[in-house]
Each structure stands twice: as structure tokens, then as C-alpha cells.
Amino acid sequence: MQFDIRRLDLYRKIPKDLTQPTSTGALISVCSVLFISFLFCSELLLFINTEVISELSVEDPVQHSEKIPVFINISLYKMECQYIGLDIQDDMGRHEVGFKDNTQKFPLGANGEGCRFESFFLINKIPGNFHVSTHSSAAQPQNPDMNHRVHKLRFGMEMEEGKTVKGSFNSLEEVDKTKANPLSTHDYILRVVPTVYEDIGGTPRYPYQYTFSYRDIVQYHHGGAAVPAIWFRYDLSPITVRYKEKRKPFYTFLTTVCAIVGGTFTVAGIIDSLIFTAYEIFRKAELGKLS
């Protein structure tokens, strides 16, 4: 006896002349297809987009270097560029007055008043400070005024364009201190947190997050004169924040799609069956054939 493979068919077909289409069934079918399409597109977007997870660890993520790059961009609206300089100090005895490498100054006004100061430099992985002041100037200004606006202060590598993650990578962005006492010394105390960001390909970047607190004081030096400055005192946290991009596995996406399609059609079939059964009972009741 020849074996008929059609016996294994789990989805046996019903002849069309034994089925009955209804307007309600058509409406439910259209709604089901639209609902499935919406859920499918939503799941597809979730699958395509990456998820960023974070974890904490106690480590030095950049073991190949003992230096941290720093970039500062700040505007001083009442000081000429010739008076402004950058000093760098740390607990290992480093003391540089008037750091000039990778430093640029741009006058803000036609008459030379006001200055935008930019600098890129390296600091050691120990507590220290850097400050914008007039200490390195050969001549001191008559009326020093260090009121300012911080456009950017970045530690470590810059995040790639288009990469966004919750964190304090530029906490001082556009901090405005232009209305403070002209004689005030501005003191920022920074807590720097090492950070690792790994993209979907596993390539790491090493930005640093930081938080800050602020105070302003008027300090008088020799001869009773006030010499204001802008201090950034930093300390490093032993905790490292590690961000990692992840994407859902393809089999998870397929499982979800199958669940959406199967679940929707199953629930829609139950709803259609209930409506059709209720309608048949109601019609029989009207004809007096309900018994």
C-alpha cells in the first residue's frame, strides 16, 4: 500500500463552498492585518535600534596611558586676550604657569575687549587643578573681571557624533557666570568618573563624566588687591561606568513576530466566532426557532 504524504498535513483545507464569509469577519480580518502590521513595524524598529546597557566596576579603563586629555572652551567678556593664560597643577608637583601648547585665543570685540579661550592639554590621573588667570601675564589689567561663560569642558575622548547616552559628559556646558561680582574668584570642584563606551562592533571609546559644585569668593593678595581667577579643581573616582551597545538576537525577533501573527489571528478568530454565534442565536430567537 502506497504511503500518502498528505496524511501528515496538519493544515487541512476546507472547500470554499463549505465556508461562509461575513461582513463582520471581513472587518475583523482587516483590523487584524493592520494591528499585525503595526506590531511588526514596532518590533522591527526595536530590533534594528541598539540598546545601551550600563554597569559599574572598580578599574582603570585606560591602562595604556597615565594621562587624561582635557579640552576647555570658555569666553571672558571683560578681559583682553593678552592677559589671559592657563596654569596647571597637580599633587605630583606639576606646576605650569602660562601653558601655551594647543592653546588659542580669539578676541570677541572690535576693540579687543573680551576673549574666547580654548585649550587642549593632558593631566595626570591624580588630583589637581587647572585655572584660567592673569598669573602668566607680564602686566596685570587695571580692573580684572573674570566673569565668564563655559561653552565646553570635556575630559577624555569625545563621544561619536550621533551617539547619545545619559550621563554628565559636559556638565558645565553653557554655564553662565557673567553676572557675578567682577572681583570674584570662581571655584569649580569637579568629580571625574572614568567611562568606557563600546559600540555594537566592540570598539571602545574612553570619555569621562564629571559632576561639579561651585562657589565664588573674593580673594585679596599682596597690597590688598583682588586678583580673580577661574579654578577647576578635579579628583578622580575609582568607579568606572561601562556602557555597551547591544542588539536583540535575530531568533528573538522571529519568535516575537510569530507570536504576534499567531496570537492576533487566534484572538481575532475567537472574537469572530463569538460574534457569529451570538448573531445566529439572535436570528433564531427572532424566527421563534430557539429551543
Q: How far is CA 102 from the centre of its chain?
A: 28
User: Given this model, what pLDDT does residue 7 score?
Assistant: 76
Alpha carbon distances (Å) from 220 to 217, 223, 225 = 10, 8, 5
- Give the Cα separation of 122 and 157 in Å (integer): 12
If you count DSSP H runs as helices and E runs as strands, how many of each does the chain have, helices first?
A: 2, 14
Instruction: Indicate if the pLDDT at residue 108 is higher than 80.
Output: yes
Phi, psi of 105 (to 5 degrees): -130, 135
Low-confidence winner among 41-50, 59-68, 85-94, 179-188 (lowest mean pLDDT): 59-68
- Give the Cα separation of 112 and 105 in Å (integer): 11
Alpha carbon distances (Å) from 133 to 15, 76, 80, 85, 251 = 90, 11, 12, 6, 60
User: Would you list the domain boundaries of the chain?
Assistant: 22-47+249-287, 55-246
DSSP 8-state secondary structure symbol assigned to residue 141: -
Instruction: Indicate if the pLDDT at residue 1 is higher than 60.
Output: no
CA atoms within 13 A on the CB side of 85: 18
Query: Left, alpha or beta for 113 (phi > 0: left; psi -120 to 50: alpha)?
Result: beta
Residue 232: CB atoms within 10 Å = 23
Rounded to two decimals, the pTM is 0.71
Name the band, by pLDDT with cuts 50, 70 and 90, for residue 224: low
Q: What percent of the chain has pLDDT over 90?
A: 35
